[in-house]
Copies of this chain bind each other. A is one copy, B any other.
Amino acid sequence: MFSFEPIGYVHSPYKSTEEVPKGLGARQDAQGSLEILPQFELGLTDIEGFSHLIVLWVFDRLSRPDRLQLIGTPPADNRPHGVFATRSPRRPNPIGFTVVELVDRNSRSLDVRGVDMLEGTPILDLKPYLSNIPEDKLRRGWLAEAERRAHK
C-alpha cells in the first residue's frame, strides 16, 4: 500500500463530470490552472521552459458503485474494452493522466490549456513532457478502429 498527498489542486471550468468533453473528436482546449502548494513552489524552478506538462491527478469524485469496472464501454466507442486499454476513471487505482500546454507561470500557479479535470481536483505530480513516440511506430488499437467506423 502506498500513500500520496496532493502537491496542489486544479482550477477548471468544469464543475461536474458531465461537462467534460468526451468521445471521438472531443476537443480538450479548456483553460485552467494548476495551483501548487507553497511548500513545493521551489520544485517548479525552470518549468517555464517546457511547452507541455504531464499531470498526474486523482479521480476524487467517483461514487462508490462506480469505483471499479474491469471491462467497460468508453465514450469513444460502442464496444467494451479492458480498463487498462482505456482512460476510464473506474480503474483499480483511480489516477488520472493529462498532458497540458503550459501557457504562463505566476509564481506557484501555472496557467494551462487542455484541462479535462474537475475544479478542485487533487494533483499528485507534474513532470516535463520530453518526447514523442515516432508516428509511424504508433498503433492505437480499438480507438483507431472506432475512428475508422465513425468516418465510414
Binding site for B on A (CB under 8 A): 1-7, 36, 40, 42-54, 56, 58, 60, 70-71, 80-87, 91-93, 95, 97, 99, 101, 122, 124-133, 135, 137-145
Contact = CB atoms under 8 A, between A and B. Distances in A.
Contact of A129 (B71, B93, B129, B138): B138
Number of copies: 2
- Chain A contact residues: helix, strand, loop or mixed: mixed
Contacts of A83: 43
Contacts of A81: 45-46
Contacts of A40: 70, 84, 92
Contacts of A126: 84
A111 to B, nearest CB: 15
B128 A140 contact: yes
Nearest to A129: B133
A47 B5 contact: no
A85 B50 contact: yes
11 contacts: A2-B3, A4-B4, A40-B70, A40-B92, A44-B84, A45-B81, A49-B145, A52-B137, A54-B97, A84-B126, A132-B133
A137 to B, nearest CB: 6
A45 B58 contact: no
